[in-house]
């Protein structure tokens, strides 16, 4: 095994451990924990057996397993970024609505 594979295995193990910790702290639901764990297990499988994804490589005309990992990583990053953006917009809207409600409520109290 080459150094980058060992590093990838250590990283996947570390991330599985953190996924478990977040699940135990109730910061992740079951589905979230399963999805993240599946991602890390998938990384371990690809690192240990790079030929296990040859059918995907041939289907999409990708020449190296590393290229596939990079493409999938970029897709996951864009997906997570989009999800964070949507959640931030939703939270901002709730905060604005709450602030507006509190301001009106306090203004009404002063008028009475």
Please tell me the pTM assigned to this model. Answer: 0.68
pLDDT in tens, 14-60: 999 999 999 999 998 899 999 999 999 999 998 898 888 888 899 88
Q: Alpha helix (H) ranges present in the chain?
A: 3-24, 30-48, 54-59, 65-111
CA 96 to CA 91: how far, in whole Å?
9
């Amino acid at each position: 095994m080459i150094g980058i594979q060992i590093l990838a295995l250590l990283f996947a193990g570390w991330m599985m451990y953190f996924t478990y910790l977040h699940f135990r702290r109730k910061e992740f639901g079951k589905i979230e924990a399963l999805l993240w764990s599946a991602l890390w297990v998938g990384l371990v499988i690809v690192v240990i057996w790079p030929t296990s994804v040859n059918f995907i490589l041939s289907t999409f005309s990708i020449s190296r397993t590393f290229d596939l990992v990079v493409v999938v990583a970029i897709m996951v990053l864009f997906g997570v970024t989009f999800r964070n953006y949507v959640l931030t917009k939703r939270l901002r809207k709730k905060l604005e609505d709450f602030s507006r409600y509190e301001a009106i409520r306090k203004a009404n109290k002063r008028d009475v």
